[in-house]
Amino acid sequence: MMHTQESIHETVVKQRNFFRTGTTLDVKWRIAQLRTLKQAVLANKEALQEALYEDLGKSPAEAYLCDIGPVIVEVNEILRGIRRWARPERHFSGLMCFPSTQTRVYKMPYGVSLIISPFNFPVLLTLGVLAASISGGNTAVIKASSKSAASTRVLKKMIAETFPEEYVTVIDGGHDAADMCLSERFDKIFYTGSPAVAKHVLSEAAGNLTSVALELGGETGNWCIVRKDADIKDAARKIAFFKLCNAGQICININQIAVAEEVADDLIRELKAEFVRQIGEDPANDPEYPKLITGSVYDKCERLTKVYADRVVFGGSGNRESCRFSPTMIYPVGIDEDIVRHELFCPLLPIVPFKDTEIDSVMDTIADREHPLSMYVFTSDMKWAWRVMSTQQYGGGCINEVCLHMMVKGVPFNGTGHSGMGAYHGEWGFREFTHPTTVLKGKTHLNLPLREHPYSGKAGETKMKLLKLFER
């Protein structure tokens, strides 16, 4: 179906009318929709796995581990907590408001939400966000990625068979369809993608003063710091796993490594061994190794590899027909070179050596750049690690581990600055898709004249004394 501005507008109007019926305000009804969503995902598991293989070359196991399974986990977490999260808060209004002592805070849905999802995790980053929108009591228009076309086809069919269009619907198409969506007035927009497009999303949302959440990769990429006291074999094993995952096309993936030069050779040797152990000698021709989303991304890998050809210490080749490019280590790279000043989103892995005694200078350089979505440090110096992780600006991260922070239940996933705004997962997603509304219940008796004129003379003096008393 070709979408037009008129058809998209009609969809938004239908959803707004449905929202105004008040149906989505009922928490029991939301729970029923979440259970329906979960069953739809399970019923379409094989179709989703096949689509993920067609789009990204993900094996069934990787597709379930990284894309499908986490949606079930997310829905289950919401189902366990939504009754508690949605319950109105009761507050004592304070003496300043006497005799009106009762106040409630309602967690109200925004209304009609727009979810713009990316190609790299087309199931998780569509349905995971949808689960948060449903939990908050919103309707949802989903603009799915045109790059992951097979996944979008399955999602569109699945959602159409599961929910009525006036509640949840999927819109396919390219940037033109996205722009038509953005020209409509939504009540909440959730965008996952690049900082460059995020600026456009924010600009369009500003016209209607629409609340926006952004999950971005970060302008200058995510750093992994390996100190000389790190367990190098353990670090290499985890880094190799993560760089192989989805062929590096992950917003929280390691963009570049900064390694103490004292252990740089050891890390490179162990990384080579781990890449071979985990994916074999020829990953570019291994059907289990994920592929790049488009030929243009493959061409970027090939172009950058040629630029740094004299410093490629592992990999550097691929198969354009299958769109698979080997994990490629580039060493040594200066901390100010262009390749480590922007997000790569591919299997290339620049490695920056530094003197371990100069680690503070490295961290200052990272802090001067745009905030990354993730940060990873490998070291046995926990005092230094916790100090760094509690003072740097980034979305989230790990000490002596990779990516697992986003799998922890009950904690937010978010970015800051060029890596995003807002947060979701579990209760944080419920909060992102609701706004707190404060309501005070007034009394009709015993109202004091404290707030009323006159404010001068003896009456004013008395009121001032009471005001200061109430401030305590």
- Is the pLDDT at 277 greater than 80? The verdict is yes
Q: Active-site positions?
A: 215, 251
Is the pLDDT at 385 greater than 80? The verdict is yes
Q: Give me the chain's average pLDDT, please.
A: 96
Are residue 132 and residue 234 in the same domain, yes or no? Answer: no
Whose tokens are 């992950």? That residue is 250
Burial of residue 310 (CB within 10 Å: 0-12, 13-18, 19+) is exposed
Provide the pLDDT for residue 95: 82
Q: Of 262-266, 307-311, 451-455, where does mean pLDDT reach its minimum?
A: 451-455
Q: Which of 67, 373, 396 is nearest to 217 (CA)?
A: 373
- Least reliable range by pLDDT among 93-107, 359-373, 375-389: 93-107
Read off the pLDDT of each residue in 313-324 and give the average, rounded to a whole number: 97
Query: Could you tell me what percent of the chain has a pLDDT over 90?
Result: 93
pLDDT tens readout for residues 248-269: 999 999 999 999 999 999 999 9
Over residues 40-52, the pLDDT tens digits come to 999 999 999 999 9
Per-residue pLDDT at 88: 98
Identify the pLDDT of residue 402.
Answer: 98
| pTM beyond 0.75, yes or no | yes
Tens-digit pLDDT profile for residues 175-199: 999 999 999 999 999 999 999 999 9
Domain match, 246 and 279 both: yes
Give the pLDDT band (50/70/90) at residue 468.
confident
Q: Are residues 213 and 237 in the same domain?
A: no
pLDDT tens digits, 48-89? 999 999 999 999 999 999 999 999 999 999 999 999 999 999
The reply to whether 158 and 54 lie within a common domain is yes
Distance set, CA 400 to CA 254, 375, 404 (Å): 13, 11, 11
Are 386 and 431 in a shared domain? no
Neighbours of 222 (CB within 10 A): 25
Both 80 and 132 in a single domain? yes
How many domains are contained in the chain? 3
Q: 190: domain range?
A: 5-218+421-435
Euclidean distance between CA atoms 419 and 166, whole angstroms: 32
Assigned token pair, 138:
């919103």
Q: Are 133 and 264 within one domain?
A: no
Q: What is the pLDDT of residue 2?
A: 82
Are 206 and 286 contained in the same domain? no
Q: Is a pLDDT exceeding 90 seen at residue 463?
A: no
What's the rounded mean pLDDT across residues 452-471?
Answer: 88
Out of 87-91, 143-147, 444-448, which region has the weakest mean confidence (pLDDT)? 444-448
Same domain, 56 and 205: yes
Clarify whether residues 240 and 362 are in a common domain: yes
Same domain, 426 and 358: no
